[in-house]
Structure 1
């Protein structure tokens, strides 16, 4: 049984802030590695993929264990590029705390804002590490002040940087002198005074001679999250790393919520060359052992744990058991997926996601001989990253996936070539719209031939409030349709709505079963499962559907002289603009814009601002848009509106795979 305190810490940041370099420094400072790995040299332990080494960026989240004093740390290094935000979402679900890395040169960037919103929603403890103090043009006081102002986050600096003509050093708060003369430390003291009435009296009386006493009074507020601890340093030069280690152990609460029975969350799945399918899990319950059986909530059956591994700096090491709070990798004969919950506890992650895939691309093999091989490779990539939502339309010989952005497409293309020797072509991305009923209508279905079968139903289809999703109500008496058949109707609704009249998922819809009947002899559950899509789709056809387009909420910060050019660009994109806010020589502009208009704007924005502006996009619901021919998609597979073909298909004549597409 492990006697150490176990903490899972995520390293998060905007791309190129130095996350992976910091991870390597922490491993080295803790004695876990002989020397710190280098991102530039391709020797970083947590960037193990060939693609990560060649591109110099993190693509997959990686977990590594090390010990420091009385704590076992499980570091999760996450990608910084927004195109790989799904990896961040999956990692956030198992973290106990976060080190948010901010470049002291660039300060708060677009993805920093996305990350901060998620951290606040989850109420995770955060330590801010202002990295790269060795860069030219760094103004620590400015980045410290900007962070507080832009994120509304009161900071308490645990050290302060000393920068003079290429010389860099740090002074710990408790060893500082003349605190009032150092803006960063003085602001930290003011923040403490706002949260501690007892200290406020000392502050007003200017009784601040002992920095150790001030720090002692600050620590409870840092642990509670009233103030956010901040440290300066340089991962490149190894400055500030030991101070970070010390404060990770001191400030991060160890009273995590665990259970007395076996329980775990699957947060990542990957295919290993030698060990096969590996599921990364975090244990939230009692000890898990090799050969144990545990319930998979997704599969609704028990699975057997064949092997358990831990990720160490030297590679994967096989162990016999996994203790409470620990992260491990398991193999099992069953096909478990990311997001699965093992055991009987409720561990669902209901928080807002950073990643929302609203772009669809078709993937083609350049050489026809690789068609089957490409399909199999994409199935593996989809297993590793479910946000791809891979669909294989075998009748049309087409592969479709969803993506977050163009960098993800480039990486997928490289991955197919390096891992499977497949040259693939990715067609231009298309926006994934949604549909909603235009008006109220009814859909009638009578499925009673060829016998034995009997399912007669009338559905009322109505538009639902924006953002309401799917609502189903049953008004039919159990004497007309038994509850076991109503259950089949409910089961059929989600996949029925995967494609509407115009080829997109249907949402914001109210479905009411208003009439129906079963037959005492001929009816069976499969009849209602088969008939429900026919009735609902007929109702949608009668009601008609409007297209809903995804909208981005944007926030832009740039120099005032660029306001005219940026506003003109946004107006041409049919953006809804709020009044700009001015902050010294900068403006901040917020609003909403259709994703279809804005998907390529980041490239133009970077050119307009010479890379010095900040543009943050966030999916912000859907709005009705004009229905034009170029937006309509053909129905994939057999449509329930083609009732005779649908019945044959569902009764097994076609023996085809499900071809529903979102």
Structure 2
């Protein structure tokens, strides 16, 4: 019932981005703050008669490739247990491009079912990058292919492709980006120094302040993970005279140590464990 309710609500509001994670058996949605989460809970209860409980919201980061990486494994190579040859080059894509996939091999070099298996596996594998976050703005090129008829199957390519792709991505490296809010502040001139100091402590950034009489306008960005604290503290920082508005402001590279996301899928970065789990030994 919950799945049906969330599916219908997503049709009405695609920004919810509802997904059912079959690996973790979890229902996840995208919300813009706790207020929308509360409204959503009320809507589900009123329209569908379901009492829902949400876990604490989690800020979702993304990864982008930092450079160029190449990797290939040939059929018959030591360590390649599959009847398949696969090679990839990965490199940064243009901003907002998502995942672009292209071929440096002839389309007819593999049966279409194998080509389809590789492409689908690329998209699935890139849902968890080097730090466990979805990888985006990446260009993936298939550089090597090979198979042995009639023993090769699509499963060989689905199992080998993650190992090769993640090896290429490891060589390229990735940077982690977190969502930020664009902020607009109007504060008394006397409180400007305290507000700027606190904004910097919360890892925010700001443009040159604009003086308007005894008030100051301040525009900038702040990570979503610290934005609630600025909202909570603004009144005390400005003696109740500050105004704040925020809206989604895209992504910015994480300044501190990159956060890691819990992995839900087989981890091709750990070859030994990956192969053991494929064979259901672990």
For residues 136-147 of structure 1, the aligned pairs below 5 Å read none
For residues 80-99 of structure 1, the aligned pairs below 5 Å read none
For residues 501-580 of structure 1, the aligned pairs below 5 Å read 501-523=130-152, 528=157, 531-580=160-209
Q: Secondary structure at the match of 1:431?
A: coil
In 2: Cα distance, 1:587 partner to 1:492 partner:
52
1:613 aligns with 2:243: yes
CA-to-aligned-CA distance 1:164-194 (integer Å, 9 cap, x gap): xxxxxxxxxxxxxxxxxxxxxxxxxxxxxxx
Do the aligned residues in 1 keep the contact of 2:187 with 2:241 (CA within 8 Å)? no
Match of 1:497 in 2: 126
Distance of aligned partners of 1:570 and 1:466 in 2 relative to their CA distance in 1, 3 Å threshold: same
Deviation of the 1:542 alpha carbon? 4.8
For residues 18-37 of structure 1, the aligned pairs below 5 Å read none
Deviation of the 1:555 alpha carbon? 2.4
For residues 27-106 of structure 1, the aligned pairs below 5 Å read none
For residues 427-446 of structure 1, the aligned pairs below 5 Å read 427-445=55-73
Q: Secondary structure at the match of 2:131?
A: coil
1:403 aligns with 2:45: no
Aligned residue pairs total 270
In 2: Cα distance, 1:399 partner to 1:568 partner:
39
CA-to-aligned-CA distance 1:600-637 (integer Å, 9 cap, x gap): 42333356463762423331333144335xx3222114
Deviation of the 1:584 alpha carbon? 2.8
1:626 aligns with 2:232: no
Do the aligned residues in 2 keep the contact of 1:437 with 1:545 (CA within 8 Å)? yes
Distance of aligned partners of 1:516 and 1:590 in 2 relative to their CA distance in 1, 3 Å threshold: same
Do the aligned residues in 1 keep the contact of 2:117 with 2:154 (CA within 8 Å)? yes
Q: Secondary structure at the match of 1:381?
A: helix
In 2: Cα distance, 1:492 partner to 1:508 partner:
17
In 1: Cα distance, 2:26 partner to 2:111 partner:
40
Deviation of the 1:503 alpha carbon? 2.0
Deviation of the 1:572 alpha carbon? 1.5
Deviation of the 1:438 alpha carbon? 4.4
Q: Secondary structure at the match of 2:257?
A: coil
In 2: Cα distance, 1:375 partner to 1:478 partner:
39
Match of 2:42 in 1: 414
Match of 2:79 in 1: none
Deviation of the 1:463 alpha carbon? 4.0
Distance of aligned partners of 1:611 and 1:528 in 2 relative to their CA distance in 1, 3 Å threshold: farther
In 2: Cα distance, 1:626 partner to 1:498 partner:
23
Distance of aligned partners of 1:382 and 1:635 in 2 relative to their CA distance in 1, 3 Å threshold: same
Match of 1:585 in 2: 214
Deviation of the 1:429 alpha carbon? 1.9
In 2: Cα distance, 1:426 partner to 1:488 partner:
35
Do the aligned residues in 2 keep the contact of 1:549 with 1:623 (CA within 8 Å)? yes
In 1: Cα distance, 2:255 partner to 2:136 partner:
15
RMSD, matched Cα: 3.5
Distance of aligned partners of 1:471 and 1:596 in 2 relative to their CA distance in 1, 3 Å threshold: same
Structure number with higher relative contact order (C-alpha < 8 Å, ≥ 6 residues apart): 2
Deviation of the 1:531 alpha carbon? 4.3
In 1: Cα distance, 2:149 partner to 2:26 partner:
43
Do the aligned residues in 2 keep the contact of 1:438 with 1:544 (CA within 8 Å)? yes
Deviation of the 1:582 alpha carbon? 1.6
Give me the TM-score of the superposition, normalised by structure 1.
0.36
Do the aligned residues in 2 keep the contact of 1:445 with 1:534 (CA within 8 Å)? no
Deviation of the 1:421 alpha carbon? 4.3
Q: Which has the larger radius of gyration?
A: 1
In 2: Cα distance, 1:504 partner to 1:457 partner:
24
Deviation of the 1:403 alpha carbon? 0.6
Deviation of the 1:413 alpha carbon? 2.2
Q: Secondary structure at the match of 1:567?
A: helix
For residues 435-514 of structure 1, the aligned pairs below 5 Å read 435-445=63-73, 454-464=83-93, 469-478=98-107, 480-481=109-110, 485-486=114-115, 488-514=117-143
Match of 2:54 in 1: 426
Do the aligned residues in 1 keep the contact of 2:178 with 2:254 (CA within 8 Å)? yes
Match of 1:595 in 2: 224
CA-to-aligned-CA distance 1:506-539 (integer Å, 9 cap, x gap): 0232322222223354456665455433431333
Do the aligned residues in 2 keep the contact of 1:447 with 1:531 (CA within 8 Å)? no
Do the aligned residues in 1 keep the contact of 2:83 with 2:148 (CA within 8 Å)? yes
Which runs of no fewer than 5 residues in structure 2 stay unpaired?
Answer: 77-81
Q: Secondary structure at the match of 1:411?
A: helix
In 1: Cα distance, 2:162 partner to 2:279 partner:
11
For residues 176-575 of structure 1, the aligned pairs below 5 Å read 373-394=1-22, 396-445=24-73, 454-464=83-93, 469-478=98-107, 480-481=109-110, 485-486=114-115, 488-523=117-152, 528=157, 531-575=160-204
